[in-house]
């Protein structure tokens, strides 16, 4: 079996072997890569985290194992600076904790585009925020950002409700359930949830704006899906 996928995690396993997690174009895979931790391994480069590779896999009694791997894109420039590395760490943790099975097909393009744009020098936190929204949409936690989730009206939007799942118009604001946001914050939230992967280089936000919304969304995904994202601490330190 041949797949093209992006490595999101490498876990050492028995001496020079490793378990590899990959997001491919059709689903998420996990496979054993024998000997890849040895310095003479021809497959070592292909299984490094945040690398897109072509893998030839074989299926045995114990599951999938790697036969050969060929690097397609190492996204090397994304790994050169602290801001890029911490964004990659966040993207990897989010992917590994939130994406399973065929959900990968819905975020492969966003993941590929995120790594490509960070490598090209785009603002890492903006890309991380856009990718966060893409993952939330893929797992069924997207927010309604085109109208009020309570009334359906499209004007006078003044708040966000993570409990109700989207924007709230001023007449329906409930201080116990909803969070007031200014016009700029609401605009950013709207943009990230409407964005497709091809839009990732069309917007840019400040680090402070990104972190504020990333932290809000991290509470949202923890409350809704039980996913605790520890790498947000690294994002704060590097910004």
Write out pLDDT tens, residues 82-126: 999 999 999 999 999 999 888 899 999 999 999 999 999 999 999
Question: Which structural domain range is residue 211 located in?
Answer: 76-142+180-238
Global pTM reads 0.95
User: 22 with 111, same domain?
Assistant: no
User: 126 with 232, same domain?
Assistant: yes
Q: How many domains does the chain have?
A: 2
Write out pLDDT tens, residues 17-55: 999 999 999 999 999 999 999 988 999 999 999 999 999
User: 28 with 126, same domain?
Assistant: no
In a domain, 163, yes or no: no
Q: Which two tokens mark 200?
A: 């990732």
Angle at 86 between CA 4 and CA 5, to 5 degrees: 5
In a domain, 170, yes or no: no
User: 40 with 82, same domain?
Assistant: no
State the average pLDDT over residues 145-153: 96
Asked if residues 37 and 53 have their Cβ atoms less than 8 Å apart, the reply is: no
CATH, residue 8: 2.40.50.140
Strands 28-33 and 18-24: antiparallel
State the average pLDDT over residues 11-22: 93
């Amino acid at each position: 079996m041949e797949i093209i996928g992006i490595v999101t995690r490498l876990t050492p396993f028995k001496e020079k072997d490793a378990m590899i997690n990959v997001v491919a174009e059709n689903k998420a895979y996990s496979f054993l890569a024998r000997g890849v931790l040895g310095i003479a391994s021809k497959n070592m480069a292909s299984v490094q985290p945040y690398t897109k590779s072509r893998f030839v896999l074989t299926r045995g009694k114990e599951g999938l194992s790697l036969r050969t791997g060929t690097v397609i894109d190492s996204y090397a420039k994304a790994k050169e600076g602290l801001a890029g590395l911490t964004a990659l760490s966040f993207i990897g943790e989010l992917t590994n904790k939130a994406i399973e099975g065929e959900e990968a097909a819905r975020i492969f393009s966003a993941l590929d585009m995120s790594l490509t744009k960070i490598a090209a020098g785009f603002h890492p936190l903006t890309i991380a925020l856009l990718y966060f929204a893409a993952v939330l949409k893929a797992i069924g936690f997207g927010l309604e950002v085109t109208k009020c989730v309570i009334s359906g009206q499209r004007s006078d939007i003044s708040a966000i409700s993570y409990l109700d799942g989207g924007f709230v118009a001023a007449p329906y604001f409930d201080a116990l359930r909803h969070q007031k946001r200014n016009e700029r914050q609401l605009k950013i939230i709207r943009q990230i949830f409407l964005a497709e992967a091809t839009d990732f280089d069309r917007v840019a936000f400040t680090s402070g704006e990104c972190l504020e919304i990333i932290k809000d969304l991290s509470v949202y995904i923890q409350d809704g899906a039980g996913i605790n994202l520890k790498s947000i601490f690294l994002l704060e330190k590097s910004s």
